[in-house]
């Protein structure tokens, strides 16, 4: 079985959904995680703190420079991940579709390379 990374892509600007809508989203996300676990494809999932909480390490001239914040600022950022194990890309894409519906956000599906 192959492993795939489902990346939750969040907007970097704008207001988050109101609390009542966020509660509905989180309920759907929990249901999606539960379904993935029951199907035996779920390996790991979690959310990330906002990009401002990041620390970036850059190799340069034989040293590693440490800076606060993300590598680059953009319109979107990684808000969370889910790692699944599936028979093929078609099955992973189906879980990506289900995750997009649950989160209401874009989901990038990418195979792991070993």
pLDDT score for 78: 94
**pLDDT the model gives residue 71:** 67
pTM of the model: 0.89
**Structural tokens at position 44:** 């790991």
Q: What is the CB-side half-sphere exposure of residue 90 using CA atoms within 13 A?
A: 1
- Residue 46's DSSP bridge partners are 81
Q: Which residues of the chain have pLDDT under 70?
A: 71-72
């Amino acid at each position: 079985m192959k492993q795939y990374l489902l990346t939750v892509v969040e907007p970097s600007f704008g207001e988050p959904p109101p609390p009542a809508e966020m509660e509905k989203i989180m309920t759907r996300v929990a249901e999606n995680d539960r379904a993935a676990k029951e199907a035996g494809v779920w390996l790991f999932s979690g959310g990330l703190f906002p990009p401002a909480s990041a620390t970036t390490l850059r190799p340069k001239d034989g040293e590693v420079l440490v800076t606060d914040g993300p590598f680059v600022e953009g319109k979107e950022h990684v808000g969370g991940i889910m790692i699944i194990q599936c028979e093929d890309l078609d099955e992973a894409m189906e879980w990506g579709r289900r995750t997009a519906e649950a989160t209401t956000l874009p989901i990038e599906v990418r195979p792991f390379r070993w």
